[in-house]
Amino acid sequence: MGKRVLDLLLPSVCAGCGTPGAACCAQCLAGFSRPEPVTRGPTAGLAPVYALARYRDQARRLVLAYKERGRRDLAPPLGDALAAVLPELPPARPDRHGTWWLVPVPSRRSASRVRGGPHLTRLARACATALAARGHGAAVAPALRLAAGARDAVGLDRARRAANLAGRLRLDPRGLPPRSTPVVLLDDVVTTGVTAAACGRALVTSGFPVVLVLTLTAV
């Protein structure tokens, strides 16, 4: 009842364009329906990278609203956008039981506290829920974590991003899928590709093949 009253007093508006009625209107969400391959040097040889949109205009506003401005209500529509395209991308595949394993790129603990929890884990869960609604098995595996000392990567070039991650990206035993399980790495923005590459290497070298990197946006 409380939420209904709040919705009446403060009706939801689209975080992309301001249209009243939903966290993300149909027109803005349609901008995430055309996945394109992304080429970044550090990811070569690891896994194909696909982005649903370019990091600009409404897509950028939606990602920033979700990531930095507390719009957690964007997780379901953005997760649904990921789920809508994932099974159709040629490199991707589920495990032998038909389950899609989703590994979110980890966030710094300090950033997660500000954002009300790991925002990419929340997005991965929304994606898994949407996959299940489409008849696919899905599971979230928060298999990676960042050790203390990692800085905010905003504004860092490729070399400094790599140095920032060096020795700080770890496997989390509590979130690992079964050994040899094919996984899909989920991110919100690919900039230089360094983070995706580092996460991919950590998983692959530990026996978890990364079949795809899927991101909402790419710079």
Task: Quickly state the pLDDT bin for 156 (edges 50, 70, 90).
Answer: low
Q: Report angle CA 153, 155, 161 to the nearest 5 degrees.
A: 40
**C-beta atoms surrounding 204 within 10 Å:** 15
Domain ranges of the chain: 31-218
> In the β-sheet with 210-218, what is the strand arrangement from edge to edge?
36-37, 49-54, 210-218, 183-190, 99-104, 137-140
Chain segment 47-83, per-residue pLDDT in tens: 999 999 999 999 999 999 999 999 999 999 999 999 9
Give 192 or 135, the one with higher predicted confidence. Answer: 135
φ, ψ at 214 (rounded to 5°): -120, 125
- Model pLDDT, residue 7: 47
Chain segment 185-210, per-residue pLDDT in tens: 999 999 988 889 999 999 999 999 99
Reading the block at residue 20, the tokens are 């009243």
- The per-residue DSSP string of 116-148 comes to TS-HHHHHHHHHHHHHHHTT-EEEE---EEEPT
Chain segment 14-27, per-residue pLDDT in tens: 999 999 999 999 99
Give yes or no for residue 8 having a pLDDT over 80.
no
Q: What's the CATH fold of domain 31-218?
A: Rossmann fold (3.40.50)
Task: Quickly state the pLDDT bin for 147 (edges 50, 70, 90).
Answer: confident
